[in-house]
């Protein structure tokens, strides 16, 4: 079982005096005892104990019960950031979820993601042959026409299907900087959403396909805006034997370099007070499998430095920021299985934006943009959500 590899960590959390439960984004709003981090680990610890001391029923049967609680988390890593032991509790949950799926106890919503991903190569189940249909075709065509550029732009599912203006803004920034870039036409979901839900085999298929597609393009640099894709390509792909040839750079890092080199000039002045929301895949080292193998630096400052370069933009920090930032609730599993909690989690971030006195929340993640935008609409709030590329593109 996958939880065997996490036995030591699961035991520590199972017997811990609960100091992290007050920062767990899901538990704060769900309020039930079963969503507390240590209870989720106790479920797994019970299975590990019964494996050592077998009773009259196989310990795996407890996975059905565990499935009820293992999906009650955003996997955002608040606990890890606050834990005195820096416990990678998210890795425990992913191991448990993988065992749940492999023993046939996957919740229907997880099975749904599996089928959608296998059929359409994205977790949303949107038609694969329409992946780029929402992007302005005149912009997209320019990127498709470039046959051997050194820079690639990875679009990602959420941007492609729901937030195409993020890609269009990045394209405008690259054009203004005279950087010729191409896309990976065969791009599919990065596989991390599936992996985090416990759909390991589906995730590994997606990773293998994408690794080949990327490496065949011959890019030197691949610019990635979605933090989940960034983390997948940087950390998970190499871990599973799929080294990526180009250097993976987050869009905020790439824009920061263009600004520092003087290649990109921001000409117009805006008049906005903005708070930046750190997405957890960029702001916390939540590498899932083997900490010693991974060393992806957390990305806190490039998004802030880019925002501070925008003429007229005034930035106010949220109370919880950088590695202590709260998740926004945009995780696909929580949105599908616990939509009420997902919205309350998003509302917490927006409350901090209002308290900070900002009228705009700047995001570095298409999933954060989509989820916070929906939360604003549903709660009729007078706030705007904008991605960093969009805010930059407004000044060109």
Q: Which residues bind ligand SF4 (CB under 6 A)?
A: 12-13, 16, 19-20, 37-38, 79, 83, 85, 87, 89
Q: How far is the CB of 79 from ligand SF4 (least distance, A)?
A: 4
Task: Name the residue number minimizing CB distance to ligand SF4.
Answer: 16
Which CB, 39 or 151, lies closer to ligand SF4?
Answer: 39
Helix, strand, or coil (residue 236): helix
Q: How far is the CB of 85 from ligand SF4 (least distance, A)?
A: 5
Helix, strand, or coil (residue 323): helix
Q: Which residues of 14-28 are buried (b: 16+ CB within 10 A; e: fewer)?
A: bebeeebbebbbbbb
Quote the strand ranges of 37-144, DSSP E. none
Q: How far is the CB of 146 from ligand SF4 (least distance, A)?
A: 46
Q: How far is the CB of 25 from ligand SF4 (least distance, A)?
A: 13
Q: How far is the CB of 89 from ligand SF4 (least distance, A)?
A: 4
Which CB, 79 or 158, lies closer to ligand SF4?
Answer: 79
Which CB, 79 or 321, lies closer to ligand SF4?
Answer: 79
Contact 264, 394 (CB under 8 A): no
First to last CA, the chain: 53
Q: How far is the CB of 91 from ligand SF4 (least distance, A)?
A: 11
Contact 151, 219 (CB under 8 A): yes
Which CB, 7 or 353, lies closer to ligand SF4?
Answer: 7
Q: Could you tell me how far CA 149 lies from the centroid of its own chain?
A: 27
How distant, in Å, are the alpha carbons of 4, 50, 241 from that of 55?
18, 7, 38
- The set of residues, in sequence order, having a beta carbon less than 8 Å from that of 316 and lying 6+ positions away, is 273, 274, 275, 356, 357, 358
Which CB, 19 or 48, lies closer to ligand SF4?
Answer: 19
Which CB, 85 or 308, lies closer to ligand SF4?
Answer: 85
């Amino acid at each position: 079982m996958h939880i065997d590899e996490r036995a030591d960590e699961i035991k520590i959390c199972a017997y811990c005096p609960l100091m992290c439960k007050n920062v767990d984004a899901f538990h704060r709003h769900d309020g039930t005892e079963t969503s507390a981090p240590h209870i989720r680990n106790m479920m797994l610890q019970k299975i590990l104990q019964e494996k050592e001391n077998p009773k009259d029923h196989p310990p795996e049967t407890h996975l059905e019960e565990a499935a009820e609680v293992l999906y009650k988390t955003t996997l955002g890593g608040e606990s890890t950031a606050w834990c005195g032991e820096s416990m990678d509790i998210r890795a425990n949950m992913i191991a448990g979820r993988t065992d749940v799926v492999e023993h046939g106890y996957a919740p229907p919503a997880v099975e749904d993601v599996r089928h959608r991903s296998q059929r359409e190569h994205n977790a949303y189940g949107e038609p694969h042959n329409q992946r780029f249909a929402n992007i302005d075709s005149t912009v997209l065509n320019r990127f498709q026409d470039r046959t051997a550029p050194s820079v690639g732009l990875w679009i990602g599912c959420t941007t492609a299907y729901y937030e195409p203006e993020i890609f269009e803004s990045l394209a405008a920034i690259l054009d203004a900087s005279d950087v010729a870039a191409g896309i990976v036409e065969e791009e599919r979901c990065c596989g991390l959403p599936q992996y985090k839900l416990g759909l390991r085999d589906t995730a590994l298929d997606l990773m293998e396909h994408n690794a080949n597609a990327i490496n065949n393009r011959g890019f030197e640099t691949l610019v990635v805006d979605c933090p989940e894709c960034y983390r997948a390509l940087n950390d998970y792909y190499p871990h599973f034997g799929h080294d990526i040839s180009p250097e993976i750079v987050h869009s905020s890092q790439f824009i920061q370099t263009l600004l520092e080199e003087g290649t990109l000039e921001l000409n117009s002045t805006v008049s906005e007070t903005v708070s930046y929301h750190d997405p957890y895949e960029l702001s916390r080292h939540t590498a899932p499998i083997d900490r010693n193998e991974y060393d992806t630096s957390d990305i806190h400052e490039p998004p802030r430095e880019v925002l501070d370069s925008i003429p007229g933009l005034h930035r106010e920090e949220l109370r919880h920021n950088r590695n202590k930032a709260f998740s926004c609730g945009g995780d696909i599993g929580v949105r599908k299985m616990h939509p009420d909690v997902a919205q309350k989690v998003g509302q917490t971030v927006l409350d901090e934006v209002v308290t900070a006195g900002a009228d705009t929340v700047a995001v570095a993640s298409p999933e954060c943009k989509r989820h916070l935008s929906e939360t604003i609409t549903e709660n009729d709030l007078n706030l705007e959500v904008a991605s960093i590329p969009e805010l930059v593109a407004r000044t060109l």
